[in-house]
């Protein structure tokens, strides 16, 4: 069996119209169907990380950012990051 030339890859991500962002993993609710509020970790995005990604998000055509995770408003740097 001979193989021909490889086809160009077509799975390169070029557009991301909706970005889902997890600012951190804390939540002040205690919903029964979710266990994220049991998380004791302190992982969270920093404003510097978000700023470092914004140019790439523009290039990828991000039009909407959906905040998920725990409760995004508990993030101390949420408001300044959301303005950009």
Query: Which residues contact ligand SF4 (rule: CB under 6 A)?
Result: 27, 29, 31, 34, 36-37, 70-71
**Nearest partner of 45 among 5, 2, 3, 84, judged by Cα:** 84
- Rounded least distance, CB 34 to ligand SF4, Å: 3
Which residues, including other chains, have CB under 8 Å from residue 57's CB and lie 6 or more apart? 16, 19, 65
Shortest distance in whole angstroms from residue 80 CB to ligand SF4 = 22
Kindly tell me which of 34 and 79 has the beta carbon lying closer to ligand SF4. Answer: 34
Question: Minimum distance between the CB of residue 77 and ligand SF4, rounded to whole angstroms?
Answer: 19
Could you tell me which of 52, 77, 55 has the C-alpha nearest to residue 67? 77
Residue 25 or 60 with smaller CB distance to ligand SF4: 25
CB closer to ligand SF4, 27 vs 50: 27
Residue 24 has φ and ψ, to the nearest 5°, of: -170, -175
């Amino acid at each position: 069996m001979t193989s021909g030339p490889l086809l160009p890859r077509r799975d390169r991500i070029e557009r991301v119209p909706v970005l889902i962002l997890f600012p951190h993993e804390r939540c002040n609710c205690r919903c029964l169907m979710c266990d994220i509020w049991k998380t004791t970790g302190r992982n969270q995005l920093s404003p510097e990380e978000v700023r470092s990604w914004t140019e790439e998000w523009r290039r990828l055509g991000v039009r909407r950012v959906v905040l998920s995770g725990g409760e995004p408003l508990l993030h101390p740097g949420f408001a300044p990051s959301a303005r950009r």
